[in-house]
Amino acid sequence: MARRVFFSFHYQNDVWRASIVRNSHIVEGTAAAGFQDASLWEEAKKKGDTAIQRMIDAALMNTTVTAVLIGAETAYREWVDYEIKKSIERGNGLLGIYIDQIKDRHGMVSLRGPVPTPLVHARAPVYVWDSSKFGDWVETVAKNAGR
């Protein structure tokens, strides 16, 4: 079953790696959390925190799973924490995926960063990216969340 997955990650550092995960065509990704036009994010930032929250909340609509793509600095991003909190409130299945070994556009891997605190508190499973297992992980957390 195709699941609509919300991808949460550090845009500036990890958009390339996140695109590789999203474009694996294993699950259906949402258009948000860094996958929509960067200019929309910049426009929301100009309007303030409430506009960013509305944008994130809208992107979470109709999703059943949130995948937090963990790069070197993901755990330090305020909006990643918000996305996790809202995902929990929605009842989404939740998982973390280390993406540090996925090469960026320059062919470089990254440092492995810590797991975001809200993900730890939620006791969400955390995996190392493996395209052959990602669909199963998504399905498992969705079912465990009753989605």
The model's pLDDT over 69-102, given as tens digits with 9 standing for 90+, comes to 999 999 999 899 999 999 999 999 999 999 999 9
- What range does the domain containing 70 cover? 4-144
DSSP per position, the chain:
---EEEEE--HHHHHHHHHHHHTT-SSEEPS-TT-S-HHHHHHHHHH-HHHHHHHHHHHHTT--EEEEEE-SSGGG-HHHHHHHHHHHHHT-EEEEEE-TTS--TTS---PPPPPPHHHHHTT--EEE--HHHHHHHHHHHHHHTT-
User: pTM of the predicted model, to two decimals?
Assistant: 0.89
Number of folded domains that form the chain: 1
Confidence of residue 28 (pLDDT cuts 50, 70, 90): low
Lowest mean pLDDT: which of 19-28, 55-64, 133-142?
19-28
The model's pLDDT over 128-146, given as tens digits with 9 standing for 90+, comes to 999 999 989 999 999 999 9
CATH number at residue 121: 3.40.50.11530
